[in-house]
C-alpha cells in the first residue's frame, strides 16, 4: 500500500532501499500489465526494446538525485513489475544516484532528503529529511551496486562531545570518528567500482593536517575509485587536502591491481 506523508513523500518511493520488496515476490519472467501476467518476457513489447532505450524510460519514472544527493520522488514503483525490470532498475537506482552518508563519533547515517515541489511549494521546494542507520537501511544484496557516495565527516569539539557522547577528549573524539570511517570502508571495500567518492567536512573544532590524515586513512583500503574528491578547508596548510586526496586515489589503484 502506498502512503503519502504530509510532505507529499511517497513512502514506497524507495521500497527497495527499505527492503520491503523481496525477490520471491517478483515474477521470474514477463511483466504485469492491466491484465494477466505475460507468460514469456519475449512477448513484452517493452522488453523487446534495446536496453539503452529502456534505461531512458526508467529514468522518467524512477527516483533520482541531484549533485548533492537530494532525492526527487518516483512516479511509479517499476522495480516491482517483474524480475528482469527489477534487476535493471535497481542497478540504475543504486548506480546512478548519489548516497549522502554522515560519519559521526557515534554512528554512520544515510540522510534521505527529498525535494517536495507540489502545489504552492513548486518554486520554493521543501526538503524534508529522514535519517537512517547505514548500512542497515540498504539490503545486503544491493550494497555492491553503490557507485556514487558522498561522505560527510563530522569533527566536533570537547564541549559538544561531552553533551552528545559523554566524551570531552578531542583525541578520543577523533579516534572514534576514525573508527567509524574504518567501519564504513569495511562495508564499501567490497564494491567492485566506485565511480565518484566525495569527502566533505562538518568541522566544529580546530583541525590540522595530521588530524585529517588520521580520519581519512581508512579510505585507502578501497579499490577501483574512478574519482575521489576531498573538500578543501580554508586556513589549512597549503597542499594538505590535495595530498590526502592523492594518497586515497593512489592506494585505490594499488588495491585494484592486487585483485
The pLDDT value recorded for residue 225 is: 92
Rounded (5°) CA angle 188-56-123? 85
State the cell numbers at 102. 554522515
- So what's the pLDDT on residue 126? 65
Q: What is the reported pLDDT for 120?
A: 46
C-alpha cell at 113: 532528503
Whether 35 and 43 have beta carbons less than 8 Å apart is answered as: no
Report mean pLDDT in 10-residue bins for the chain, 259 residues. 37 43 48 44 78 90 83 78 89 91 95 69 66 92 93 94 93 95 94 93 90 95 92 88 94 85
Count how many Cα atoms sit within 13 Å of the Cα of residue 221 in the half-sphere of its side chain. 14
pLDDT recorded at residue 41: 45
Give the pLDDT of residue 243.
94
Q: What are phi and psi of 15, to 5 degrees?
A: -55, -35
**Residue 257's pLDDT is what?**
82
Amino acid at each position: 500500500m502506498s502512503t503519502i506523508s504530509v510532505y507529499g513523500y511517497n513512502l514506497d518511493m524507495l521500497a527497495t532501499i527499505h527492503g520491503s520488496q523481496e525477490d520471491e515476490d517478483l515474477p521470474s519472467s514477463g511483466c504485469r500489465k492491466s491484465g494477466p501476467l505475460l507468460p514469456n518476457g519475449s512477448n513484452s513489447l517493452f522488453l523487446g526494446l534495446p536496453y539503452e532505450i529502456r534505461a531512458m524510460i526508467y529514468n522518467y519514472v524512477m527516483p533520482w538525485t541531484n549533485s548533492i544527493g537530494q532525492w526527487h520522488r518516483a512516479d511509479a514503483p517499476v522495480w516491482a513489475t517483474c524480475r528482469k525490470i527489477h534487476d535493471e532498475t535497481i542497478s540504475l537506482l543504486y548506480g546512478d544516484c548519489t548516497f549522502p552518508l554522515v560519519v559521526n563519533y557515534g554512528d554512520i547515517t544515510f540522510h534521505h532528503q527529498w525535494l517536495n515541489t507540489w502545489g504552492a511549494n513548486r518554486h520554493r521546494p521543501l526538503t524534508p529529511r529522514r535519517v537512517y542507520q547505514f548500512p542497515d537501511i540498504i539490503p545486503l544484496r544491493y550494497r555492491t551496486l553503490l557507485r556514487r557516495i558522498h561522505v560527510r565527516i563530522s569533527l566536533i569539539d570537547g564541549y559538544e562531545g561531552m553533551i552528545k557522547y559523554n566524551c570531552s577528549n578531542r583525541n578520543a573524539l577523533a579516534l572514534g570518528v576514525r573508527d567509524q570511517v574504518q567501519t564504513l570502508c569495511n562495508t564499501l571495500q567490497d564494491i567492485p567500482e566506485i565511480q565518484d567518492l566525495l569527502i566533505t567536512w562538518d568541522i566544529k573544532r580546530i583541525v590540522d593536517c595530521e588530524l585529517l590524515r588520521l580520519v581519512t586513512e581508512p579510505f585507502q583500503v578501497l579499490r577501483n575509485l574512478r574519482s575521489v574528491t576531498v573538500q578543501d578547508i580554508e586556513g589549512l596548510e597549503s597542499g594538505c587536502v590535495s595530498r590526502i586526496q592523492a594518497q586515497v586515489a593512489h592506494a585505490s589503484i594499488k588495491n585494484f591491481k592486487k585483485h
